[in-house]
Amino acid sequence: MIAMKRLLLLLAVYMSAISVFADKLPKSVEKARNAVASVVTYKQGVLLNNGTALFVGDKGELLSSRSLFVGADSAVVIDVKGVVHPVKHILGVNEILDCIRVRVAPSKKIKSLPVSHTPVADDELLYLLGYGMGKGGFVENTIVERVDSIYSCAYYTLKKPMESRFLSLPIVNAGGEFVAMMQPAATGDTINSYAIGASVLSMLEPTVATYGRGFYHQMGIRTALPSSKENALSCLYMQAMVGDSVSYRSVIDEFIANYPDSYEGYISRAEYEALFLRDMELAEQSWNRALKLSKGVAEVHFGKAKVINAILLSGDSISHPSLSFENALAEFDRAIELDNQSLYVVAKADMLFSHGRFTDAAKCYESLSVTDVRGPETFAKAAKCYNEVGNYEKSVALLDSAVNSFDESSIKSAAPYILTRALVYSAAEKYRNAILDFNRYEELVSTTLGADFYYLRSQVELKAKMYQLALNDIDSAISLAPQNVSYYIEKGVLCYRVKFSEEGLRVLKEAEALAPQQPDIHYLLGRLYMQKGDSKEAASCLKKAIELGHPDAEAVLKQIVN
């Protein structure tokens, strides 16, 4: 009985609404029709889609259906007066809710709808606004059957069958305020239609994670920077890493236009002018502008130093007074003087190392041992500097510090530094110490070792006169890389040195089967046969080596002949 009364009540309201709609449309609703627009999208100049959009806000912004823009590289909006407005930017997209917010050039002549922030109640009468020039657009009323929520937005079920012409139509209340936008039809539903609440507008903005990606990347219409300066700056920095030079420059220009008093935009522009255009005069002007706006913050000097160093290392032959190692170093020093950040010191040390200033670089790295970046990587970098100048004792001491940075629970992470220390010991001719580190490294990462590790250790073991261990490691290398002929040859050399003639001949015969035209194989076979006392076979192998161009084979053959 209660259900029947409710049905009769709704029917009465519905009929009343139709009567009101037919006789007297609220003035605010009539006025709201001026904010409805037609949107037309194109791909390479060919019509792609057309539908409805709605002007909201006072900056030329519109809300429409995302599906209309799929694959588009340009779009225009036509208002009720027939004025065409090219779409300049995508402001935000929500693929799930099929919504897109775009922007045209702002104009005082554009009529926008105010947005309602009052929740719509069940059974409330609302109005769908269709586009038409002048008064040609249609208005249809509807009643809210149910109000749900999706992604913190109101989601309305309407007592109205969905029609294709309703897609993305704005819905207003009796006060002419925008409350919702029509959604695509639900599969199989021929009774109701659905609309997403106006609060979806606040969701339509790219984030640092989505800017330039996904749907934003698929459209030829450029995405605007987020409204937050902090997020816009993050997007600018990200575009510098992933964008092409054209899109990066457009993002820089947009950031500067939005935040003309922010020095960060001018730093980015200077980097673009120097690195992409190779125009140092323009870059200097942008750096000077950044310095003026920032009152000399360290970040400007740091950015300039990095750019100068990058150009110097690129090998480009461009000439400009600012492009010198001394100038880059001075900019780093100025940045550190203004703000002694570890990041700046590391960058300075890296530059010194890349230009062969190893002792100065080492001092920079070592100065970080009392800062927040103290750690194994910094010790290892300093060790590498001392290794370059032959100060192996200092290098080992720093690598000791790197290894000691790890406790027993994380000792596996010390493996790369232990391997590096092994190589330093080997360079210092402390072969036994090197082998101990190689063995420790093997214990820590045994499941990931390759043939090159065993070959490398065998060479150190050979220098340490630990011949059997060297043979074992060469065998391991061969088993892991059976097609690498050089390992067979190395074993052949080792067998010759320790007078394991039979084993040497066996392994070199295997190598000959893999690479019959390799002269070193035939030369070593000749030497091993000589060692065994088989002059006939030795001479045959050496002659083959001579044919293949081995430089020493002929002299050795003469020893047999004579």
Q: Which of 299, 322, 339 is the last residue of a domain?
A: 339
Tens-place pLDDT, residues 494-536: 999 999 999 999 999 999 999 999 999 999 999 999 999 999 9
Instruction: Examine the domain organization and report whether 154 and 248 are in the same domain.
Output: no
pLDDT computed for residue 18 by the predictor: 41
CATH number, domain with residue 531: 1.25.40.10
Instruction: Examine the domain organization and report whether 173 and 248 are in the same domain.
Output: no
Instruction: Examine the domain organization and report whether 36 and 169 are in the same domain.
Output: yes
> Where in the sequence is the domain holding 38, given as residue range(s)?
23-203
pLDDT computed for residue 562 by the predictor: 64
Q: What pairing do the DSSP bridges indicate for beta strands 125-129 and 99-104? A: unpaired
Q: Which of 339, 356, 379 is the last residue of a domain?
A: 339
Task: Give the pTM.
Answer: 0.74
Q: And the tokens for 350? A: 């890296």
Element (H, E) at 259: none
What is the rounded radius of gyration, in angstroms, for the C-alpha atoms of the chain? 38
Q: How many domains does the chain have?
A: 3
Cα–Cα distance measured from residue 440 to residue 303, given in angstroms and rounded to the nearest whole number: 42
pLDDT computed for residue 117 by the predictor: 81
In 3-state terms, what secondary structure has residue 112?
coil
Instruction: Count CB-CB contacts under 10 A for residue 90.
Output: 23
Task: List the chain residues with pLDDT less than 50.
Answer: 1-23
pLDDT computed for residue 292 by the predictor: 93
Q: 283 lies in a domain? A: yes
Residues in the chain: 562
Instruction: Examine the domain organization and report whether 111 and 49 are in the same domain.
Output: yes
Q: Which of 185, 203, 221 is the last residue of a domain?
A: 203
Tens-place pLDDT, residues 169-219: 999 999 999 999 998 877 777 888 999 999 999 888 888 877 877 667 666
Q: 403 lies in a domain? A: no
Q: And the tokens for 183? A: 């959604």
Cα–Cα distance measured from residue 41 to residue 398, given in angstroms and rounded to the nearest whole number: 63
pLDDT computed for residue 463 by the predictor: 94
